[in-house]
Structure 1
Amino acid sequence: MISFRQAEPADVDLIFDWANDELTRKNSFNSDPVKYETHVTWFNNQLQNAGSIILIFFSDQVACGQVRFNMGNETIIGITIAREFRGRSLGKIMLKEACDFFFTKFPKNEITAYIKEENKASISAFEKAGFLFYEKRTVSNCESVVYKKRKEEIK
């Protein structure tokens, strides 16, 4: 069973560990390891920022990943799945549930995902979660794809 809750201060180390996972770094637009002090500052700022939502997901009460929304000129979504939970098709479920939650609060917002073109697993999860291909774009010198989702596209 999948459940989720909003992140809280005690999640700082969990998110730090996920952020520094080898595959997570490879699939990030900045692949450098994250320094702990930098992470703590960033994480605390995210928790205080009304334009940020971090959802921690659980599979049978074990933390399995997170979905993050950052609202600014556009709402950008990101997902991380813990190493031991990859390959179980959780990405699609997490993305759908996170978007449903997000749209109850911000029904008029459009959600945008930027994904490295080589990250086929992430592209597949976003497509299965109802995101639609928008365009190809170079992001931080990486060939990328952009996917978007609106409330009326929730399936």
Structure 2
Amino acid sequence: MKYIKFQDLSLEEKKEVLKWRNHPEIRKWMYNKNEISLEEHLKFIDTLENSNKIYLKVDDLGVVNFIIFKDYVDLGIHKNPVKKSVGNILLKFAIDYAFDYLNTKKIILYVFENNEKAISLYKKFGFKETDRKDNLIKMELINADWKN
């Protein structure tokens, strides 16, 4: 599977990723539901170089992102809105990347409680609910529990 860091994307690829992110079907599941301008998007990408954040475009399937902490990573995923049935592929890629490449002990993610499709997918891959706050569910997957 081909993946590339946001910083290494061409301008056209950066615009493509922004188009995915701003699509109404994707945006509705984001913390920030506002449409993001190209200028904001490019400024954000510039901040990634020396940070604890990794954003990857995975083929033409979507984006996975990680915020890296000492013993865990926060995971975010959004798919290319025109692609169907790619959640399994993106999530498997993200889990393998986090455990095999980032060598983390645990993956944490947050999902809106009404995003039943995503919750079902995360549970299928072994994520367990560990907390709820407002309309968000915190889910975790421990490296030792991950079965490839």
Normalising by the smaller structure, the TM-score range is 0.7 to 0.9
TM-score using structure 1 length: 0.82
5+ residue gaps, structure 2, are none
Q: Deviations over 1:84-118 (max 9, x none)?
A: 113x1x21221122211221233243211111111
Shift of 1:54: 2.1
The letter for the 1-side match of 2:142 is R
2:82 paired residue number: 84
Q: Which residue of structure 1 aligns with residue 137 of structure 2?
A: 145
Instruction: Tell me if the contact between 1:4 and 1:55 (Cα under 8 Å) persists in the aligned partners.
Output: no
> Per-residue CA shift, 1:27-53, capped at 9, x if unaligned?
11121111211111112222x135222
Label 1:93 to 1:128 Cα distance change in 2 as closer, same or farther (>3 A). farther
1:34 counterpart residue number:
36
Distance 2:103 2:138 in 1: 20
Structure 1 segments of 4 or more deviating over 4 A? none
Confirm or deny that 1:71 pairs with 2:68. Answer: yes
1:51·1:72 contact (CA, 8 Å) conserved in 2? Answer: yes
The residue number in structure 2 matching 1:154 is 146
Query: Quick one: which amino acid aligns to residue 35 of structure 1?
Result: S
Go from structure 1 to structure 2 and tell me whether the alpha carbon gap of 1:83 and 1:106 turns closer, same or farther (over 3 Å shift). Answer: closer
CA 1:78–1:56 in 2, change beyond 3 Å: closer, same or farther? same
Residues 1-150 of structure 1 aligned to structure 2 (within 5 Å): 3-7=1-5, 8-10=8-10, 11-46=13-48, 48-58=49-59, 63-72=60-69, 75-86=73-84, 88=85, 90-138=86-134, 143-150=135-142
Say if 1:70 and 1:77, in contact at 8 Å, map to a contact too: yes
Percent identity reads 23
| Contact 2:98 2:104 (8 Å CA) reproduced | no
> SS at the partner of 2:111?
strand
Q: Unaligned stretches of 5+ in structure 1?
A: none
Task: Kindly provide the amino acid, as one letter, of the partner of residue 145 in structure 1.
Answer: I
Could you tell me how far 1:72 is from its partner in structure 2? 4.0
The CA distance in 2 between the partners of 1:12 and 1:34, in whole Å, is 12
